[in-house]
Chains A and B, each alone.
Chain A
Amino acid sequence: DTAVSQTPKYLVTQMGNDKSIKCEQNLGHDTMYWYKQDSKKFLKIMFSYNNKELIINETVPNRFSPKSPDKAHLNLHINSLELGDSAVYFCASRQGGNTEAFFGQGTRLTVV
């Protein structure tokens, strides 16, 4: 069983569209994250979320919004996609405290 799963794995879409990426974890973790990895391979945190608090990286445009229907899911919605949004998006989860995070396989988003 995959611990952290993301769908879709690949997403190609036109500028201006709205899209969502889904993430599910079956590890029972309290905290989930979204990271963006750009063409320079830098992994940048976008959001962290548990059932009590959402922390947003202030550099993330408000076109990006996380949605969490329950503790095991953290989906990423992106409105009005731009060319610069093209990147690999990784979902991750951890139990909290000082534990390590587990990552999904990533979603390669290409905006054309």
Chain B
Amino acid sequence: GAGVSQSPSNKVTEKGKDVELRCDPISGHTALYWYRQRLGQGLEFLIYFQGNSAPDKSGLPSDRFSAERTGESVSTLTIQRTQQEDSAVYLCASSPGLAGGQETQYFGPGTRLLVL
């Protein structure tokens, strides 16, 4: 079956532009996560969606970052007025959502963002 997909796979943008990253979770997975991974670093939690509950936005680094999810499907992560420090791989993961987050997360291939 299809795994988590993300688009675009690579994005190069100029400082100050807005970017939108997309994630398609595994069908039927109600939980969806966004992470950021800077070069040589671990995964930094950004935001978590679970069904129709209010998302956990506690990891978003600034108000330039926002994310939306349509029902239990596609999610978009938007970064406004991009800065060079936003350059990273943005990873999306999904899970069935049956165990309050205590379950295996399946990762997409990531979007590599480079801000010039």
Q: Do A and B come from one complex?
A: no
Residues of B within 8 A of A (CB): none
Residues of A within 8 A of B (CB): none
